[in-house]
Structure 1
Amino acid sequence: MAMTRSTAAAWSLSALAAGLLLVGCSASVDVGSSEPKMSADKLADTVAEKLAATMNRPKPDVTCPEDLAGKTGTTTRCTLTADDGSTLGVSVTVTSVDGDRIDFDIQADETASPAPN
């Protein structure tokens, strides 16, 4: 039985979420400023690269709404969007800061949201 494109995309995002929940994911970036902060664009790119490497899949489309402040415990939410428009939330939490280096964990939601009609 063939899967519809939206079902396949939702399954793919759900599989991605399940995989990330099992393996976990973390990253660190040197930001090079006196007040450590990572731009939203740099964060989105880093999260996308890490997700792609963790799941051995092409780099997904990830957007983050705000810069990530380099303070332990700081969190933000990013969004992974599939080709069909379905989305998966991704939480980013700063785990440590060492000078200009910000270490953070990435945690995907368990379920994807369907594409808007």
Structure 2
Amino acid sequence: MTTSRLSAATSILSTVAVGALLVGCSASVNVGTSTPKMSADKLATIVAEKLAATMNQPKPNITCPEDLAGKVGTTTRCKLTAKDGSTLGVTVKVTSVQGEQINFDIKADETASPAAN
């Protein structure tokens, strides 16, 4: 039974990843500082909202380990965690910065990692 739930969760996460890759999520945020930087919490919220909207699913649990610097080419890795504990990596890459606004693309990994035992 645990295996079937894990398989279902991995399947759902894989579907999210494939959908995110096909749609090519992107976002832009006005951060309101002279040196553009977005907090890790705000980034996680925006990534979750974009993935949910793209997949027409509830907002996933996303965590990001660091603030996002507003410099073109900067990347960070966030993590999507499913209810069963399985995870999926999500890469965020800054595509442009216009004044205080940071524009970025979101790309989910193709394969989920199973929950730790």
TM-score normalized by the length of structure 2: 0.96
C-alpha displacement at 1:6, in angstroms? 1.3
Q: Distance in 1 between matches of 2:37 and 2:46?
A: 14
Secondary structure (helix, strand or coil) at the match of 2:43 reads helix
- In the TM superposition, 1:1-117 aligns within 5 A as 4-117=4-117
Secondary structure (helix, strand or coil) at the match of 1:27 reads strand
Secondary structure (helix, strand or coil) at the match of 2:34 reads coil
What's the CA shift string for 1:27-86, capped at 9, x where partnerless? Answer: 000000011000000000000000000000000000000000000000000000000000
Q: Which moved more, 1:13-22 or 1:89-98?
A: 13-22
Q: Which runs of 5+ in 1 are unaligned?
A: none
Q: Distance in 1 between matches of 2:17 and 2:33?
A: 33
Q: Which runs of 5+ in 2 are unaligned?
A: none
Q: Distance in 2 between matches of 1:79 and 1:33?
A: 26
Q: Distance in 2 between matches of 1:48 and 1:19?
A: 14
C-alpha displacement at 1:4, in angstroms? 2.0
Superposition RMSD in Å: 0.9
C-alpha displacement at 1:7, in angstroms? 1.2
What's the CA shift string for 1:76-106, capped at 9, x where partnerless? Answer: 0000000000000000000000011000000
Q: Distance in 1 between matches of 2:97 and 2:21?
A: 24
4+ long deviations beyond 3 Å: none
Secondary structure (helix, strand or coil) at the match of 2:7 reads helix
Q: Percent identity?
A: 74
